[in-house]
Amino acid sequence: MAKSKPIGLRWRSSTLFIVSTVGIGLFTDLFLYGLVVPILPFILQDRVSLPQDQIQSHVSALLAAYAGASVLFSPPAGVIADRTSSRQTPFLIGLVALLGATLMLFLGQTVPVLVVARILQGTSAAVVWTIGLALVLDTVGPENLGKTIGSIFGFISIGELAAPVLGGVVYKKAGYPGVFGIGFGILAVDFIMRLLLIEKKVAAQWDVKNEDSGGIDEEQDGTVADEEDANEEEPLLRKKEEDSYKVPEGQSKVVKGSPILYCLKDPRLLTALLLAFNQATLLSAFDATIPTEAEELYDFDSLKSGVLFIALVLPYLLLGPVAGWLVDRFGPKPAAVLGFGYLVPVLILLRLARPGGTSQIVVYCVLLALNGIGLAVIGSPSIVEASTVVQRYAKANPNFFGEQGPYAQLYGINSMVFSLGLTLGPLVSGGLKDKIGYGNMNIVIAMLCLVTAILSFVFIGGKPKILKRN
């Protein structure tokens, strides 16, 4: 007996609703992740009664616990997602884990409970980011991925922006019940949207045609056609390039079980994953050090520390979609090279932050805003480049990679690498800050960005013509 047509099928399976649902899901994850960032030092001091000299190390450890769990669970989440017929089911399971983590953070009174909560939260993030990004690619296709990711990242940066501010304000005024009341409200909205979502391939059972779909199959076909038209004068070169993406016979059982592993030999993909790692390292370094630096320099409480994040995240919100569109238009290389190259001097300028009154606080905010511009530019290149490379492998080897392709596996690897950056960022930045000071710590991170910019020039989007000639 045929299933009855779901109510609201057209809008529930529309590109706008699917992308909005993924955006809300990622927003919720980031919001609940960042909710405790500005108040962690005060929670550990006031509620757990840790001595002052242990605060920074425990703040970094709690941030790293979240990311470490995401590192471990991201690859399995990708493999499972590519082998299941629906993206929606694991997407909902991830939200259940996030609800459990939020309850533990709400009720926890000791360091072990807070650590377990952050681990469970990281597990949820592994599922949500892996499935969510794969669902976006399924929906909009690779040619629209940059501007879509840029728009989503710009939107979810509101969560990153609002969480520290609201966390600081509400914690000071209403304590834990007020803070987590907001969190549970957002979780409810997120749950309803995920429950209503209908994937395009499911909607196709009722012959629903989404004119705005831009799904991956349609877009990939268009991509191939465009490339063929553009390369009619170079058929031999194109054939050679296509052959380079062929997977030879006789692969091991491990590679056959997780085909994305074969793609990891590609330097373009490895460099794209390095971009994700360094992007996460930057974000988590700011998360770990801004509250403690603000407390040391300006004697800021949780509220004022949270407000400082506005300066960092607001440029991301405004410029993220524009940067994503530019990546779609001109490719990921310019954004990666210029973005990471731009971050080198503005990170070094953070050493200008000094103790003082309003004028010094303004200087620090301006410096954070300049860094926020760089974070907006580097938001899309990694995902777009990685998707492009894997798309070529999937098209050259459709039987090897399966019906759905290895995209969830890719985003599982990407999430793992990103989470590894979130893990190491707080530990390294916190340790460097304690040993060599805040200014010198940022010089070290700036050098990391410089190396990334050079590698992006060489590998992202393929070798530049100047290197090919040589």
pLDDT tens, 44-65?
777 777 787 778 778 778 877 8
Measured CA to CA, the distance from residue 305 to residue 169 in angstroms comes to 10
Predicted local distance difference test score (pLDDT) of residue 224:
42
**Per-residue pLDDT at 324:** 82
Tens-place pLDDT, residues 418-452: 878 877 888 888 889 989 999 999 999 999 999 99
Q: Is the pLDDT of residue 216 over 60?
A: no
SS3 of the chain: helix, strand, coil, percent, to 5: 80, 0, 20
More confident residue, 126 or 456: 456
Rounded to whole angstroms, the Cα distance separating 174 from 247 reads: 59
pLDDT at residue 1, rounded to an integer = 47
pLDDT on residue 470: 53
**Per-residue pLDDT, 345:** 96
User: Model confidence over 445-458: pLDDT tens digits?
Assistant: 999 999 999 999 99
* Separation CA 288–CA 277 (nearest Å): 16
- Average pLDDT over the chain, rounded to an integer: 81
Residue 74 has pLDDT above 70, yes or no: yes
Nearest to 31 by CA among 116, 114, 128, 107: 128
Instruction: Please state the rounded mean pLDDT for residues 292-308.
Output: 81
Q: For 201-216, what is the mean pLDDT? A: 62
pLDDT of residue 223: 42
Q: Confidence class of residue 222 from pLDDT cuts 50, 70 and 90?
A: very low
- Closest Cα to residue 34, out of 163, 225, 198, 209? 163
pLDDT band at 221 (very low <50, low <70, confident <90, very high): very low
Find out whether 286 and 426 touch, Cβ atoms under 8 Å.
no
- Nearest CA to 88 out of 25, 152, 2 is that of 25
Residues 6+ away with beta carbon under 8 Å from 420: 67, 71, 277, 280
Mean pLDDT (whole number) for 384-411? 81
By CB neighbour count within 10 A (0-12 exposed, 13-18 middle, 19+ buried), where does 465 fall? Answer: exposed
pLDDT band at 38 (very low <50, low <70, confident <90, very high): low
The residue among 102, 129, 79, 127 whose CA lies nearest residue 32 is: 102
Q: Quote the CA–CA distance of 5 and 51 in Å, as a whole number.
A: 61
Tokens matching residue 245: 């993406």
pLDDT for 468: 64
CA distance 241 to 403: 23
Structure confidence at residue 217 as a pLDDT band (50, 70, 90): very low
Whether 241 shows a pLDDT value over 70: the answer reads no
Of 43 and 224, the structure prediction assigns the larger pLDDT to 43
Helix (H, G, I), strand (E, B) or coil at 265: coil
Mean pLDDT of 319-336: 86
Q: Which residue has the tokens 């728009």?
A: 151
Spatial contact of 274 and 454, defined as CB atoms under 8 Å apart: no
Q: Which residues have C-beta within 8 Å of that of residue 415, sequence separation ≥ 6?
A: 70, 74, 77, 78, 125, 126, 129, 130, 133
Residue 165's pLDDT is what?
67
Is the pLDDT reported for residue 85 higher than 80?
no
CB atoms within 10 A of CB 236: 8
Q: Are 68 and 164 in contact (CB under 8 A)?
A: no
Over residues 4-29, the mean pLDDT reads: 87
Nearest to 196 by CA among 63, 379, 8: 8
What are the structure tokens assigned to 1, written together? 């007996």
Structure tokens at 19: 């992308």
The total of other beta-carbon atoms located within 10 Å of residue 262's CB is 19
pLDDT at 394 (0 to 100): 83
pLDDT at 176: 72
Instruction: Compute the average pLDDT of residues 138-152.
Output: 75
